[in-house]
Structure 1
Amino acid sequence: MGRIFITLTFVLTILPLVAGKAIAREEKFFDFFGDIVYGEECLRSWQIEEASAVAEKLLSVGRDNPYVCFFAGEVYFYEGNYQESLSLLQEALKDPDIAQKGKKFYDFVNRVYQTAGKFKEVKTEHFLFRYLEEKDAILADYALDTLEKAYHAIGSDLQYFPAKPILVEVFPDAESFCTISTLTKDEIETSGTVAICLFNRVIITSPRLLPRGYQWLDTLTHEYVHYVIMKKTYNRVPIWLHEGIAKYEERRWFEDAPPKLPVSLESLVAEAIEKDYFITFEQMHPSLAKLKRKEDTALAFAEVFTVMDYLFNRGGYPILVSILDSIGNGKSPEDAVSSATGVSFPEFEKNWMYDLKQKKFRRIHGIQILPTKLKETSASVEDVESVAEIEVKDARKYAVLGDLLRREGLHSAAIIEYEKASKKAGNISPQIQNKLAISYIMDTQYTKAEEILKISLEYYPEYTTTYISLGELYQRKGEYDDAVKILTQANHINPFNPIIHKNLAQLYQKLDKKEDATLELKRLMMLTK
């Protein structure tokens, strides 16, 4: 949840200045003007290599021209060369006309540089991964392995393989992510946005910023899909199609099977059909992050997923590629969809909606869209501490009593209180479900515990505690391979929880996988030193 795409550029502010000065300046500058206009168009259409070639040509013959410097500074920023960008922009701002309108962009780059200028880098064949905090180094291996898998899977699906290494940056705190994303903290938390594809790069927040992390590897893939679409289509794809393909493809790094709509989103679609309440394609523009309620953002993601499913069932990846190719070749998105489906765009929308309403989506009463709260600390939330997250007062009261009884080893009594809490909650609470399951585990009622945890995992696959609880259950039952598998999935959400690495190290020792055990102990030390 919360992966978005925004088309945003500051370059439009400088073009009118260039046009206004073209007549007044010497003839040599007039030649620069055409190149700069072309270069700016390359930036807007995400053809950064072409923009870079224009910048290098202009710098070689017009290094003293402030408009050339400003344009080259923009290009360097899009390439992730922050220091060089600032240096050129600073030169350009000596011109009073550029200073008047260009300082906003310079200040923006400078704010980003306060964080990005300290990034460390790890490279692979197709990606350049940057991070700041020492603890975030733990992300590199997971991220790059995932991204390389995504590179090949998405490239095969959408028939596009970027030629140049893709920049991926992990921003370490809420303030720096707000700056680079150009979103407010309220917009981020309302929409659940934790990553973005913008300025020719993939940008994510560190999973440290959420108490239990988030599905950050799926998120990386989601944003990489946006990157591919941008490059392939010259940034001409509307938000509904962008988000639909990205949502449909976000687990391709992990799964070969056709994607399924998560239960929480399936329930939202069922409710939308029941109430005849949908988010239109027009309302989704310019970004899902601009919707006012997290439920609306989630519903929009669910809708566009079903659009892709509708298209895929009628032509597989070839129909998606056909649409993207047509848009890249200059067709409007509506005409591209119409050509691929053989009906007018309004008819296509009507057919999709009719098909949607014929499906038997499950309505799960009580399922929630979990909130996104970016924190300035990296502390993990333990199960007992999560009582504060239970919103209903009476449910929280019973959960607290259950915790007290469980700490005293009175597990049967704790089960009674947690069951009361569950009834009072009024919704399906992953916090209470985990507390109840752990008490069943401690009471050796393994079958009941597994049943509860599997339901919880189906409803809330982003909730890390459930994976840890299941890992504990499988370990106690001696099912070590299953325990490793489930805890590995926990790392896909929150690699900063030391319990996961500690338990994995113990399991690998029992399975006589000494190298894997050593690696997990190394990761544990990274988090606890």
Structure 2
Amino acid sequence: MSAMSVWVHRVPLVVTLLATTPALAQGGSLAPQARRVHQLLAEWRLAEAERALAPLTAIAPDDPAVRLARGELLFHRGRYKDALAYLEWVTRATKGGAAPWTRAKYLHTLVRSTAATVEGYSEKRSSGGNFIVRSRGRDRLLADFVGETLEAARTRLQRDLGFVPPHPVVVEVYPRTTDLARVSPLTEEDIRRSGTIALCKYQRLMIVSPRALLRGYPWRDTLAHEYTHLVVSSVSHNKVPIWLHEGLAKHFEARWRLPASEQAPLTPTQRQLLAEALAKRSLIPWRKMHPSMAKLPDQRSTALAFAQVQTAVSFIANKSGIRGLRGLLLAMRAGKTDWQAVKAVTGLGRRAFSKGWRRYLRQLGLTRKKGLALHGLVFGRRSSKEKRIAALKGAKVRRHFRLADMLRRRGLLRAAVLQYEKARAAGGQRERIIGNALARAYLELSMPKRAISALQPVIEYYPEFAGAQTTLGVAHLALGDVAAAARHLGIALRINPFNPKIHCGLARALPKAQAKARARHGALCKALMSPR
């Protein structure tokens, strides 16, 4: 910060002190000024809230309204123990039922639960110093990757939307979904029903570890998604409705890892959901996405809603570019409604926009793929082999698969491959569990080309299946194609980073010029292979 900027910030402080002192001397209250601090926090204007609070703290540090504002600001800073001290003081000093007491009591309960949840977490700064990553246990292995992802997202969004937070952002990684429920307004039922796995709230990013799910989830894109929410809220002063908020977050979530000219395509599942909804005229109305996607009835509805808002924002971007998306936020900050802002940047009113967006969807060539299933998030750790077999459809499929597994355990690999092939013939070429088991058996027979062939139909439908991506990476590595190996293993890393095979493979597949990354993956390979 330059000397000039320090001086400019100091002048209003002196003026404010002089202006408010007489009112205080006559018994005046600072509640109206303190409410302004709360309003700035609600508008995600943390730096302005701090500047507004500083003179109030200097004048009347023991005013309950000022202490309440200070406690809330410290909470938004991620300083929970300090926030608790202020909030406890307010609850003791004010009468029950009074406005400061009611707000302080609510915040005290939330902050105390949050502080208890993150007790014992370690803290690590990202390489650029812009993110503070809190985690515990094995989730600490994610800290560097969390920082890399968010630093890249920060750079891209600064270029796209013209904003970076003026302070380090706190990121918390929770080992269980119950932890996310303890630190947020969501219930565990909300989380499991809708598949909500992360939040951006109270000026921080909160995600559940991919270890908490059976097959992981796209946690790195999810981090960038939540960071986009922070930027959108900050630029717009929290004036963007949920459908547009989520659409912007989906639009930008993968840009941290893509060239500037590229946009992540819709996944096969998204295309399927949109194709079905168009055919059945069952698209979800924008208004039903309010107040939160987490309140939608099930994971299928949530996934469809996300696909809708993502394509709606893509439609806007195609018409008005990145400048148009930034213009949307500035228009709403200035007081326009969402549809007034959309019209300002696209020239389309609400009805014309909906017609144009549906026409845009039809131009995407959406078709329903036979046999493609929606695999929602599965919460919980690894299930037993028998449970996974029981999930296969058809008694014949299960019989061949169970026999194949038994033969494979006994080292009778060729006989096992024969049974896996029979199971796949009965269950379909794209059955994920069968395809991956077959491919791994081929790898054990030193037949990597056959392994790759077995998995191509699977990833065509399910590119987010980390098991298949990992096996493909190992197969390409066996063939000496290190570029393809690194590509597939990198995808797997973005979904299920606790599989040691991913890190063992990347330690060999990454270019020698990336010596630091190779060494890190080598260390993680050893750490994850070792007994706990």
Residue in 2 that maps onto 1:154? 157
Alpha-carbon spacing, 1:93–1:396, altered in 2? closer, same or farther (3 Å): farther
8 Å contact from structure 1 (residues 122, 129) kept in 2: yes
Q: How far is the alpha carbon of 1:448 from its aligned partner?
A: 4.4
Aligned match of 1:338 in 315, 324, 343? 343
Residue in 1 that maps onto 2:209? 206
Deviates more, 1:154-163 or 1:476-485: 476-485
- Residues in 2 aligned to 1:350 and 1:393: alpha-carbon distance in whole angstroms: 43
- Residues in 1 aligned to 2:482 and 2:304: alpha-carbon distance in whole angstroms: 38
Deviates more, 1:137-146 or 1:73-82: 137-146
Aligned match of 2:361 in 341, 356, 359? 356
Deviations 1:129-178 (A, max 9, x none): 23231322211211111111111112211222222222212123222111
| Amino acid in structure 1 at the alignment position of 2:32 | G
Deviations 1:67-97 (A, max 9, x none): 2222211111011110110000000001223
Q: How far is the alpha carbon of 1:506 from its aligned partner?
A: 5.1
Deviations 1:1-39 (A, max 9, x none): xxxxxxxxxxxxxxxxxxxxxxxx988664412212211
Residue in 2 that maps onto 1:7? none
Residue in 2 that maps onto 1:282? 287
Residue in 2 that maps onto 1:327? 332
Residue in 1 that maps onto 2:250? 247
SS in 2 for 1:374: coil
8 Å contact from structure 2 (residues 131, 150) kept in 1: no
8 Å contact from structure 1 (residues 368, 428) kept in 2: no
Residue in 2 that maps onto 1:18? none
Deviations 1:459-502 (A, max 9, x none): 22332111221122112223234323322332222222222223
Aligned match of 1:194 in 197, 202, 219? 197
Alignment of 1:364-383 (within 5 A): 364-375=369-380
8 Å contact from structure 1 (residues 130, 168) kept in 2: yes
Alpha-carbon spacing, 1:142–1:151, altered in 2? closer, same or farther (3 Å): same
SS in 1 for 2:238: coil
Deviates more, 1:261-270 or 1:322-331: 322-331
SS in 2 for 1:93: helix
Q: How far is the alpha carbon of 1:336 from its aligned partner?
A: 0.6
Q: How far is the alpha carbon of 1:100 from its aligned partner?
A: 5.2
Structure 2 residue 388 is matched with structure 1 residue 387: yes
SS in 2 for 1:96: coil
Q: How far is the alpha carbon of 1:519 from its aligned partner?
A: 2.5
Structure 2 residue 154 is matched with structure 1 residue 173: no
Unaligned 5+ runs, structure 2? 1-22
Q: How far is the alpha carbon of 1:386 from its aligned partner?
A: 7.2
Alpha-carbon spacing, 1:393–1:55, altered in 2? closer, same or farther (3 Å): farther
- Residues in 1 aligned to 2:473 and 2:122: alpha-carbon distance in whole angstroms: 33
- Residues in 2 aligned to 1:174 and 1:414: alpha-carbon distance in whole angstroms: 38
8 Å contact from structure 2 (residues 389, 402) kept in 1: no
- Residues in 2 aligned to 1:389 and 1:103: alpha-carbon distance in whole angstroms: 49
Deviates more, 1:477-486 or 1:179-188: 477-486
SS in 2 for 1:213: coil
Structure 2 residue 48 is matched with structure 1 residue 50: yes
8 Å contact from structure 1 (residues 386, 431) kept in 2: no
Aligned match of 2:90 in 86, 89, 92? 92
- Residues in 2 aligned to 1:444 and 1:470: alpha-carbon distance in whole angstroms: 13
Unaligned 5+ runs, structure 1? 1-24
Residue in 2 that maps onto 1:418? 420
| Amino acid in structure 1 at the alignment position of 2:465 | Y
Identity %: 32
SS in 2 for 1:131: strand
Structure 2 residue 225 is matched with structure 1 residue 226: no
Residue in 2 that maps onto 1:183? 186
Q: TM-score, normalised by structure 2?
A: 0.87
Residue in 1 that maps onto 2:18? none
SS in 1 for 2:312: helix
- Residues in 2 aligned to 1:101 and 1:248: alpha-carbon distance in whole angstroms: 36
Structure 2 residue 67 is matched with structure 1 residue 37: no
Between 1 and 2, higher relative CO (CA 8 Å, sep ≥ 6) is seen in: 1
- Residues in 2 aligned to 1:290 and 1:436: alpha-carbon distance in whole angstroms: 39
- Residues in 2 aligned to 1:114 and 1:459: alpha-carbon distance in whole angstroms: 42
| Amino acid in structure 2 at the alignment position of 1:500 | I
Alpha-carbon spacing, 1:433–1:338, altered in 2? closer, same or farther (3 Å): same
Residue in 2 that maps onto 1:524? 525
SS in 2 for 1:462: coil
Deviations 1:191-227 (A, max 9, x none): 2211111111111112221233221111111111111
Deviates more, 1:347-356 or 1:105-114: 347-356
SS in 2 for 1:197: strand
| Amino acid in structure 1 at the alignment position of 2:52 | V
Deviations 1:266-303 (A, max 9, x none): 11111111111111101111111111111111111111
Deviations 1:41-68 (A, max 9, x none): 1111111112222333222222222222
Residue in 1 that maps onto 2:321? 316
8 Å contact from structure 1 (residues 471, 482) kept in 2: yes
- Residues in 2 aligned to 1:103 and 1:292: alpha-carbon distance in whole angstroms: 31
Residue in 2 that maps onto 1:21? none
Q: How far is the alpha carbon of 1:447 from its aligned partner?
A: 4.1
Structure 2 residue 71 is matched with structure 1 residue 73: yes
Residue in 1 that maps onto 2:112? 110
| Amino acid in structure 2 at the alignment position of 1:520 | H
Q: How far is the alpha carbon of 1:399 from its aligned partner?
A: 2.1
- Residues in 2 aligned to 1:400 and 1:151: alpha-carbon distance in whole angstroms: 48
| Amino acid in structure 2 at the alignment position of 1:396 | R
| Amino acid in structure 2 at the alignment position of 1:300 | A
- Residues in 2 aligned to 1:83 and 1:221: alpha-carbon distance in whole angstroms: 28
- Residues in 1 aligned to 2:80 and 2:402: alpha-carbon distance in whole angstroms: 50
8 Å contact from structure 1 (residues 58, 68) kept in 2: yes
Q: How far is the alpha carbon of 1:99 from its aligned partner?
A: 4.2
Residue in 2 that maps onto 1:236? 239
SS in 2 for 1:363: coil
Alpha-carbon RMSD across the aligned residues, in angstroms, is 2.7
